[in-house]
Structure formats: C-alpha cells, structure tokens
C-alpha cells in the first residue's frame, strides 16, 4: 500500500502545497497548479457566492472586473465568524478558504492522480494531510483551519505549527541537527504579519515551540498599503478626484506589491530603483508609470524598518533567552526575500547560523509534508541529504581559503574585531599574519641561498683563472 503525504502552507498572500511518499528517498515536491508552484491566495466567486470563478494570479489580475466578489488577505479572519457581504448574501473567511482549498484539491487531482479524487485514492492507499497555522493562534482558529481543509476534501487532516515545518525542512536539507541541543529562532516574515518563534531542540525528543511572538502590523501587506496609498493619493491629485473606485484601488494594490518585490530584487542586483506600469484606470483611462527608489522606499517605511526587530526582542524576553543563546536563525515567508532581512538579522545574531531558502515560501510547505511522513514512518522514514548545497559551498570556500594561505591576498590581513564598546576597529588576522611571516621567512632564505651560490661561483672562477695563469707561464 502506497502512502501519500501532503503539506499545505496556507498563507495570507500566497499558498503552497507539497507532497511526498513513504519511501525514505522520496523528496518533498511542490505541486504545480496552473504552472505555478506558489499560488496567490486570491479567490473570485460567482454572484451567488456558491461557485469558484477563478483563483490565484488569474483572480488577482482580473480583480478589477469584480472587486466585490474577489477576496484576498482573508486568512487573518479565519475562525472569527466575520462575514463578507455579496449581493445580499455573505461568506465567512472559513467559507472562502474552503472554496479556495477545494479548487486547489481539484487541480491536484487532475495533475497527479489523473482526475481521481483524493477520497478515491484514500480508499486504496493511505493519504495524510497536514496544514500549518501560526503557532500563536488560538485553538478556535486552529480548529477552524482543520475543518476548512477537511471540508475542502483533503483526507486525514492534521495540524502543525508553521515553525516546526521550517525545522523539518532544514533537517531534511541536512542543515539542522535534531540530535544537538539548541535553540532555533524562526522569523516568519509573512504577508499579514511577522511571526517569531523559538524552537527548542533536544536529542531524543521531538522539537517543540518554546515561545512565540507576533507583530500584526509588520507584514508584507503593510508595505503594500503604504505604497498604494501614496500612489492613489498622487493619482487623485492628478485627476482631481476626491477618491478612487474600488476597481482602481484593487488594481493599484496589485501593482504596488509587484513593484515592491521588483525593487528588492533590483537592489540585490545593484540597482537602486524599480518601475511598474499600471494598466488603464477607470478614473482617467490611461496608464500610470510608477517609479520606486530604495531611498523613497526606506523613507516611506522608516517606522516599519525600525520596528523590524521588535518581535525578536519580544520572543526572547518571553523565553528568558539571550540573543547569544540562539544557535540558528531560519527565515521563512514570502516577505523574507526582502533585501534588508539578512543584514538586520545578522546584526542581532552575529554568531548564529543563518538559513534562508532560495525560495522561502517553499520551506514550510515541504516541511509540513515531511512532518506528516515522520508522524507515520518515524524519523528513520525521512532520509536527510548528506550535504546540502549550502554546506558544500561553505566547505569548498573553506578549502580554497586554506590552500591560498601564504600565496595570495596577504595584503588583506586585516579583519574587524569588536572592542569593549561594541564598535569596530582594525585587528590582525592571525592566519594571514602567520602566512605573511612564513612568506617573509621564505624570501629571506631564498636570498641567503642566492648569495651563497654567487660567492661559491666567484671563488670557483677565481680558482680557474689562477690555475690557467700558472699553466700559461
């Protein structure tokens, strides 16, 4: 009997679903849904609110056609009972989420199981689903999430705190040792909020969430709202309108998220600005070119950037743990790709190992499917990679540095060390310094050898001339 394990990372901005099988060598894979491994958590329903018209990027791009029936960023309302009115009817966030996940399940059945339903597959094989939720969520929210996934047609649904998904993903990657006692901080920079968690790891014991903290005002959407508010205000001034139609607001919001993401990518590629063209708006029926520079972005969000570390200090305080006790920092969430994230975290945790997947959004989804597999097969059922690409790269660089000692870059023998006041000052790199001494000593020895041979050669020539002189006489 084959066993299938699904992991659902249901996010505020995007959703990812992974799957794996029960063989130890089976790697977790993200499931492509309409050519996208990461799906926008956006849904458009029919006028009667009973059918799904479109999801993902298609619904997001076409949101301006029916903004009153297009839903996004509804995750934070799960379990609240809050209703969204639609032409005399209403939907709760739970109901919207159920419709959204139902459509994803249908796409999975078409892609992987040749249109067989997961319920049919589960009759012959075992299917387990794990859906993640923020560790700090209340039980009513977690219960509503489980019911939402079950109601959407996913079999045998279990829940898991999202930080644990990150732990199991990096364990599988061969980057995290579950048999080493340590504290790991998971910084989940999501679309709706920033969630921080400290996970305690001890040999022979399952990892557990030690403490959590949330900053509800520090999600990716808060950056989007600032940018879109600024753009909308400028357009209102240009057109003379006091406000914009909902259709235009939704379109501006989508493009503002895109320019934010493009700017971060451009900065990493040594460009300090980005541009985005908003398609014709109903208020003026013309395109609008947006330009966002790094300086303007940082001025616009100076308070959010200043508060970046607040949830970190909060979770450390709740756990009564100092920053130096954190051995590893893991970054997850779509906003974890921001250009400023690594620098800010490394300033707080200079001695900790920093882990961020090339695609932070895959981290939790894959980890949740691995968690499902470990529940069924034990840890021995998951075969971690012997060496991750990251570790291989680190070892390769270390070998290159070792082989080059005393051969090159001896002029770079100054490193930065911290003085008692926490400021930086020049210091001597002992390895490079020793290499320089060895090279200097080697040069001196070579000079002495050359002088020795020169003297011996001169004496030999003098001897030859003397002998020849005697012979000729």
Is there a single domain that holds both residue 173 and residue 244? no
3-state secondary structure of 202: coil
Query: What whole-number distance in Å separates Cα of residue 15 and Cα of residue 60?
Result: 14
- Is residue 109 assigned to a domain? yes
Is there a single domain that holds both residue 150 and residue 22? yes
- The number of distinct structural domains making up the chain is 2
Is there a single domain that holds both residue 147 and residue 12? yes
Q: Phi first, then psi: what are they for 97, rounded to 5°?
A: -65, -40
- Is residue 457 assigned to a domain? no
Q: What is the pLDDT of residue 451?
A: 67
Of 259, 286, 306, the domain-final residue: 306
* CB of 11 closer than 8 Å to CB of 189: no
Of 351, 368, 391, the domain-final residue: 391
- Is residue 298 assigned to a domain? yes
Is there a single domain that holds both residue 186 and residue 235? no
Instruction: Residue 338: give its domain's CATH number.
Output: 3.30.420.40
Query: What whole-number distance in Å separates Cα of residue 53 and Cα of residue 435?
Result: 68
| Distances from the Cα of 460 to the Cα of 78, 450, 463, angstroms | 98, 15, 5
Q: What is the pLDDT of residue 359?
A: 87
Of 364, 391, 418, the domain-final residue: 391
Is there a single domain that holds both residue 209 and residue 154? yes
* Structure tokens given for 113: 């199981």
Q: What is the pLDDT of residue 284?
A: 84
Q: What is the pLDDT of residue 465?
A: 63
Is there a single domain that holds both residue 354 and residue 270? no
Q: What is the domain extent for residue 67?
A: 3-218+307-391
Q: How far is CA 198 from the centre of its chain?
A: 17
* Structure tokens given for 254: 């989508």
Is there a single domain that holds both residue 112 and residue 253? no
Which residue's entry shows tokens 């014991």? 205
pLDDT tens across the length of the chain (473 residues): 789 999 999 999 999 999 999 988 899 999 999 889 999 999 999 998 989 999 999 999 999 889 999 999 999 999 999 999 888 889 999 999 999 999 999 999 998 888 899 999 998 789 999 999 999 999 999 999 999 999 999 999 999 999 999 999 999 999 999 999 999 999 999 999 999 999 999 999 999 999 999 999 999 999 999 999 999 999 999 888 888 988 899 999 999 999 999 999 999 999 999 999 998 888 888 889 999 999 999 999 999 999 999 999 999 999 999 999 999 999 999 999 999 999 999 999 999 999 999 888 899 999 999 999 999 999 888 888 875 454 555 445 544 544 554 444 434 433 333 333 344 334 444 444 444 444 444 545 555 666 666 777 777 777 666 655 655 54
- Is residue 7 assigned to a domain? yes
Is there a single domain that holds both residue 237 and residue 109? no
Is there a single domain that holds both residue 282 and residue 350? no
- Is residue 67 assigned to a domain? yes
Contacts of 345 (CB under 8 A, 6+ apart): 187, 329, 331, 354
- Is residue 444 assigned to a domain? no
- Is residue 211 assigned to a domain? yes
Is there a single domain that holds both residue 231 and residue 180? no
Is there a single domain that holds both residue 237 and residue 171? no
Instruction: Residue 282: give its domain's CATH number.
Output: 3.90.640.10
User: 432-436, long-range: CB within 8 Å, 24+ apart, which pairs?
Assistant: 432/405, 435/405, 435/406, 435/410, 436/406, 436/410
Is there a single domain that holds both residue 207 and residue 235? no
């Amino acid at each position: 009997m084959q066993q299938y394990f699904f992991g659902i990372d249901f996010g505020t901005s995007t959703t990812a679903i992974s799957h794996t099988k029960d063989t130890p060598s089976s790697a977790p894979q993200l499931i492509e849904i309409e050519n996208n491994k990461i799906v926008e958590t956006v849904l458009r329903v029919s006028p009667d609110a009973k059918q799904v018209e479109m999801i993902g990027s298609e619904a997001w791009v076409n949101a301006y056609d029916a903004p009153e029936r297009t839903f996004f960023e509804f995750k934070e309302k799960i379990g609240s009972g809050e209703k969204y009115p639609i032409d005399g009817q209403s939907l709760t966030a739970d109901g919207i989420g159920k419709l959204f996940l139902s459509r994803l399940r249908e796409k999975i059945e078409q892609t992987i199981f040749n249109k067989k339903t997961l319920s049919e597959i589960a009759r012959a094989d075992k299917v387990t689903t794990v859906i993640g939720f923020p560790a700090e969520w209340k039980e009513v929210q977690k219960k509503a999430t489980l019911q939402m996934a079950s109601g959407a047609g996913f079999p045998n649904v279990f829940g898991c705190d999202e930080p644990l998904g990150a732990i199991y993903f990096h364990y599988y990657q061969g980057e995290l040792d579950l048999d080493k006692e340590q504290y790991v901080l998971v910084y989940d920079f999501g679309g709706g909020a920033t969630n921080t968690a400290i996970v305690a790891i001890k040999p022979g014991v399952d990892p557990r969430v030690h403490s959590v903290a949330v900053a509800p005002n520090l999600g990716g959407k808060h950056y989007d709202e600032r940018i879109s508010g600024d753009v909308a205000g400028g357009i209102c001034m240009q057109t003379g309108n006091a406000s914009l139609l909902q259709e235009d607001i939704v379109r501006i919001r989508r493009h503002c998220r895109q320019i934010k993401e493009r700017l971060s990518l451009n900065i990493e590629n040594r460009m300090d600005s980005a541009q985005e063209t908003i398609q014709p708006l109903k208020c003026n029926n013309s395109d609008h070119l947006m330009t966002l520079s790094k300086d303007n972005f940082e001025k616009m969000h100076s308070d959010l950037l200043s508060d970046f570390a607040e949830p970190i200090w909060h979770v450390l305080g709740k756990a009564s743990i100092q920053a130096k006790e954190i051995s590893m920092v893991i970054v997850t969430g779509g906003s974890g790709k921001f250009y400023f994230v690594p620098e800010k975290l490394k300033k707080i945790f200079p001695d900790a190992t920093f882990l961020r997947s090339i695609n932070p959004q895959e981290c939790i989804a894959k980890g949740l499917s691995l968690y499902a597999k470990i529940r069924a097969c034990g840890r021995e059922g998951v075969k971690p990679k012997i060496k991750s690409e990251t570790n291989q790269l680190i070892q390769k660089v270390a070998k290159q540095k070792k082989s080059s000692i005393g051969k090159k870059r001896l002029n770079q023998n100054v490193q930065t060390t911290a003085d008692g006041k926490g400021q930086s000052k020049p210091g001597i790199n002992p390895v490079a310094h020793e290499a320089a001494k060895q090279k200097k000593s080697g040069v001196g020895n070579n000079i002495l050898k050359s002088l020795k041979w020169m003297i011996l050669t001169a004496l030999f020539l003098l001897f030859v001339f003397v002998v020849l002189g005697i012979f000729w006489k």
